[in-house]
Chains A and B, each alone.
Chain A
């Protein structure tokens, strides 16, 4: 095959979702025109909903059934993709175009072993006439290439027996198995912690060089793009508004929107006006936890059968103690599986545990990682808010007066969270991720809690929404004196707004102190590892 300078050429592509009511809607992709050069790593950045994923699906031929390409063409190595039969396009996937996606936890069939799922990539393509043994060897070799030292053991495992990072490696192995010329990576690292992200990016770069794979890297994380991509394109509202080499775009943006994205990604306290409240550490803590020990999955029989010695073995938390003071934003960091989420579940009383938790407040608010599944899709925002209000001691009560009062309060709180009365009758699916996360905060605020526990609230949000959410949190902290327990794997955010942090590793607190001290002078290995990953990814 002749080598083309551009392996993929997208030519004035316009795509929309026409419906019977609206046959000519606003296009999702509007005159998108770019080329991917052979052998390069091309970054595609932009906020959620700007059309990044649709661009990648259009190239792969996996667009939803109701999508219509109204204009333009896509060429892959000279072939016009849009003129091909759907069956032939499907056959190109895996062989010519590989793909990896955002959420590795659900991207593998839970009922099939890793080995079988990877072998399918080989058997799916007719040209491949390898024998069973050769296929097994190809799969094992690829698993070793993506960094498994125990490849043969992994073959027989099921997806639920692997960690998020391991699953993403398996998916990369599947995508690279037939050595495709183009690898489309759609936010491959956004649900992984910093340490894993760094290793996945290193792996992709290595594959790009070893197997001569061209990569289209889609992300809303600008720091991941830095140092990884050769060129970057910026997308906004279905249009590509800026493209240049990575260093030019990221250090010297000419476009105003690119500059704004960069500012938000940097989360600069001065520009965003973030100002956490002063903390009085002599006051009595709003939350005290002593010797929390907890674990999962113990059935009745196991509890009876096992001696207390064996019981501690499958515990996730081992004697964790912590205090949260009024007005404080306490940061809690640690790698995946270090027990952060288990700890807050214990603190909130959602998980049976040993040890004492005392909370000096009538109610504790909580916001979680995934704002999509946290809200009931069948109900309006007003319903969600009144439900939260009803279950709190601040409930103005039933009756006409009470309801009017409640509505007034709901609107006040929504406005405080940057949403107005016009959102009252919307349903969760009509809101963006950032807006849903604000609703989650509003639902906490309406109960006037002294403490809000936030479990990775930023990880599913793009840079702009994260910046807005962060500003909202510091405003609440300053004006309402609400304490926050912020769990995140983004050390950058912690550095900006938390006066004090706790570092967790393997279910224990391995370090705690003021943020400046811990992050400049780490005493424990796990803190050092987290900081090293942070340094490599952000290039600080």
Chain B
């Protein structure tokens, strides 16, 4: 259908424009920040000539526009320069750390969906009854706990009180995949907790809202059982609005994982980011920030496409 292709094209152009603006902002931010990277690297005792030499080696003496385009070319070939601090390619550094952050986000997301969906369905069956109210109160409490506090509590519980596991170790997925998942479970749960509460609250009200819609009444009058109505009509309809919320939650989780990594001592992007900040490692910093932004923008793009697939009213306008 032509309108469908048009819709996709429009969304894609939106994506490219967003990425362009993001790249401009990231580049501009790290170019405007005061502080000369060459001088930082060489230390306070370096002479002006030495600094000047390093500047030209790093390409810092070229005009801003030229630097922007060489940076953007590097970004899309996954090689946006060399880190000052680690003396390694930024792309390589990020690739090393990505499995931790992405794995943790994915596990957290799966937890959110697996826990909040069944709870929301059960809770919305008879709104206002005891179980529903208990769920809501617990939800409110969880919602108020920041991930790092949850992390500390979980470390205390799992590591010291129940002695379930040693906290703070990390196994790479290539060595032992099961241990890799195992050591990410606790931090993922810490990130997931408030998001479970958020997603539960949203899904519950969305299901309750759909339950009062006229088409549910029609389905009842057709003789469908409550379970069939839930699975075939109510859940797909509530998913249309949930997709957007889920994508927001997912990008939140990604941000939350940066902090939780610190607490659990995991070698992820978050720690890399912090060390890049403290060492004024601008190529690494701008690389991490840009790729995180890229993932977020892509998530929203995918969620837009997904909701258009889920809803024929958007698809067949």
Contacts and interface: CB of A to CB of B under 8 A. Distances in A.
Interface of A: 60, 62, 65, 87, 90-95, 98-101, 103, 106-112, 120-121, 124-125, 158, 160-161, 171, 174-175, 297, 299, 301-302
B43 interface: no
B280 interface: no
Contacts of A175: 221-222
Interface string B212-242: 0111011111111110100011001100100
B119 interface: no
A486 to B, nearest CB: 28
A107 B215 CA distance: 4
Contacts of A108: 215, 218
B6 interface: yes
Contacts of A299: 6, 10
B51 to A, nearest CB: 50
A90 B220 contact: yes
Contacts of A174: 218, 222
A285 B312 CA distance: 45
Contacts of A160: 312-313, 316
A109 B237 contact: yes
Nearest to B317: A297
Nearest to B236: A111
B236 A125 contact: no
A110 B311 contact: yes
Given A101-B214, A174-B218, A297-B317, A93 B223 contact: yes
A62 B217 contact: yes
Given A110-B237, A111-B237, A120 B219 contact: yes
A94 B220 CA distance: 9
B312 A110 contact: yes
Nearest to A301: B10
Given A101-B218, A109-B237, A120 B311 contact: no
B313 A171 contact: no
B310 interface: yes
Question: Which of A90, A92, A125 counts the most B-chain CB atoms under 10 A from its CB?
Answer: A90
Contact of A121 (B10, B222, B316): B222
Given A125-B223, A301-B6, 7 more contacts: A107-B217, A111-B237, A112-B236, A120-B222, A174-B218, A301-B9, A302-B6
Contact of A60 (B213, B221, B311): B221
B214 A120 contact: no
Contact of B232 (A99, A103, A120): A120
A103 B214 contact: yes
A363 B10 CA distance: 39
A424 B60 CA distance: 71
A90 B317 contact: no
Interface string B1-34: 0000010011000000000000000000000000
8 contacts: A90-B225, A92-B223, A103-B214, A109-B219, A110-B237, A120-B228, A124-B223, A158-B316
B311 to A, nearest CB: 6
A242 B196 CA distance: 57
A175 B221 CA distance: 8
A481 to B, nearest CB: 42
A110 B313 contact: yes
A94 B228 CA distance: 15
The 8 A-B pairs at the shortest CB distance, nearest first, are namely A94-B223, A99-B221, A106-B214, A93-B223, A109-B215, A121-B222, A158-B312, A94-B222
Interface of B is mostly: helix
A394 B85 CA distance: 70
Given A160-B313, A171-B218, A302-B6, A106 B223 contact: no
Contacts of A93: 220-223
Contacts of A101: 214, 217-218, 221
Nearest to A94: B223
B317 A91 contact: no
A297 B223 CA distance: 37
Contacts of A90: 220, 223-226
Interface of B: 6, 9-10, 126, 213-215, 217-226, 228, 232-233, 236-237, 240, 310-313, 316-317
Nearest to A302: B6
Contact of B224 (A92, A103, A124, A171): A124
Contacts of B219: 109, 120
A92 B221 CA distance: 9
A121 to B, nearest CB: 4
B222 A87 contact: no
Nearest to A175: B221
B317 to A, nearest CB: 7
A91 B223 contact: yes
Contacts of B126: 65
Contacts of A171: 218
Nearest to B213: A106
Contact of B233 (A65, A91, A109): A109
Contacts of A111: 233, 236-237, 240, 310-312
B159 to A, nearest CB: 46
Nearest to A161: B316
B1 to A, nearest CB: 12
A62 B221 contact: yes
Contacts of B215: 106-110
B313 A158 contact: yes
Question: Which of A98, A101, A112 counts the most B-chain CB atoms under 10 A from its CB?
Answer: A112
A125 B10 CA distance: 45
A109 B221 CA distance: 13
A110 B241 CA distance: 13
A1 to B, nearest CB: 18
A306 to B, nearest CB: 11
B242 to A, nearest CB: 13
B233 to A, nearest CB: 5
Given A106-B215, A108-B215, A158-B313, A94 B6 contact: no
Question: Which of A60, A87, A110 counts the most B-chain CB atoms under 10 A from its CB?
Answer: A110
A107 B237 contact: no
A65 B211 CA distance: 13
A301 B218 CA distance: 38
A297 B6 CA distance: 13
Contacts of B236: 111-112
Contacts of B225: 87, 90, 124
Contacts of B310: 111
Contacts of B313: 110, 158, 160
A95 B240 CA distance: 31
Nearest to A97: B221
A103 B217 CA distance: 11
A124 B228 contact: yes
Contacts of A99: 221
Nearest to B312: A158
A174 B233 CA distance: 16
Contacts of B214: 101, 103, 106-107
Contacts of B213: 106
Contacts of A125: 223
Contacts of A109: 215, 218-219, 233, 237
A301 B317 CA distance: 14
Contacts of A95: 223
A93 B240 CA distance: 29
A110 B232 CA distance: 12
A158 B222 CA distance: 18
